[in-house]
Amino acid sequence: MPPRSQLRRARDGWLDHLRVERGRSEHTLGAYRRDTDRYLDFLAGAGVTEPGKVREQHVTDFLAHLRRGDDEHRPLAATSAARAVVSVRGLHRFLTLEGEVRTDPSQEVAPPTPPRRLPRALSVHEVERLLQAASVGDTPAALRDRALLEVLYGCGARVSEAIALDLDDLELGRPDAVDMAAGGGVVRLFGKGSKERIVPMGRYARDALDTWIVRGRPGMATRGRGTPAVFVNARGGRLSRQSAWNAIKAAAGRAGLGGDVSPHTLRHSFATHLLDGGADVRVVQELLGHASVTTTQIYTHVSTQHLREVYAQAHPRARG
């Protein structure tokens, strides 16, 4: 067996450090070994076998090689290539800290950015099916789940915001409500960083909340210690995030919508349907509680599908 190169010995020392000093799992160490094996083979092909001979261009070329592939390896997606680059950067950072080399040649090489997945939005018809499926029977749990889903969709609330709601945060049908003619109200939500925002609430969400608070909540709440929470569990305590997720998953299953419907799906749908209906993106930003309009603008890409559908149906030259 040929002797190990300086780089390979240094890499093995790094893995030993991760195992002994950092307590990394064998699964993680195996991934690091595979990534850096390929990297060291690439460097050896370029005639580089010593840590001090590695330059930034070598790391950059390796990244390009990963994305391009070769006769033995298929091209890697951005996510897989990014993981490999993270392994390489960990190795070089270790060698720098250990004094093996003066500078880190990988420091300025950024991992590729995976393409941003557009959030899934349900159609209006799918949301209606989901909300109908949330209320099976007339039990307190069914009334609560329907009210919860109506708030998530009707207000664009995060699940953490919805389960944190207290009774004092609701102003149902107050005189200066935005849509008093439709029987709406407003709700006070506390978002990231405890930032408060007031969001209008339509009649459907208001009615579902009214029904839950009057007919369903009292029986559950009396089993607890007098929590002010709007949404409570069977023991009378505040509903947990996991229980909220389970309620949505169960409703999605009954509605035949598959297993990828989450609380955020309803928030995405809220934003997309507002934009499809002509709402200004900055109004949607305010309703969602985004600090920057840039975050909200991802929904304008989702709504492009709606524009394509309208164009295909309405323009005389859209169909060939």
Q: What are phi and psi of 170, to 5 degrees?
A: -100, 135
For this structure, is 192 an active site residue? yes
Catalytic residue among 188, 197, 203, 264: 264
Q: Which two tokens stand for residue 191?
A: 């978002």
* Rounded CA separation 284/79 (Å): 31
For this structure, is 317 an active site residue? no
Q: Which two tokens stand for residue 95?
A: 């060698």
For this structure, is 153 an active site residue? no
Kindly provide the residue ranges of all beta strands, DSSP E only, lying in 182-275, ordered along the sequence. Answer: 185-190, 196-201
> What is the enclosing helix (H) or strand (E) of 178?
none
* Rounded CA separation 49/83 (Å): 23
For the purposes of burial, counting CB atoms within 10 Å of the CB of 106, is it exposed (0-12), middle (13-18) or buried (19 or more)?
Answer: buried
Contact between 239 and 233 under an 8 Å Cβ cutoff? The reply is: yes
The Cα-based distances of 205 to 88, 173, 234, 263, 310 in angstroms read: 52, 11, 22, 16, 29
For this structure, is 264 an active site residue? yes
Catalytic residue among 146, 158, 268, 273: 158
Catalytic residue among 4, 34, 68, 192: 192
For this structure, is 267 an active site residue? yes
Contact between 174 and 187 under an 8 Å Cβ cutoff? The reply is: no
For this structure, is 39 an active site residue? no
Catalytic residue among 92, 267, 268, 273: 267
Q: Which two tokens stand for residue 210?
A: 């009214």
Contact between 257 and 130 under an 8 Å Cβ cutoff? The reply is: yes
Give catalytic residues, as residue numbers.
158, 192, 264, 267, 290, 299
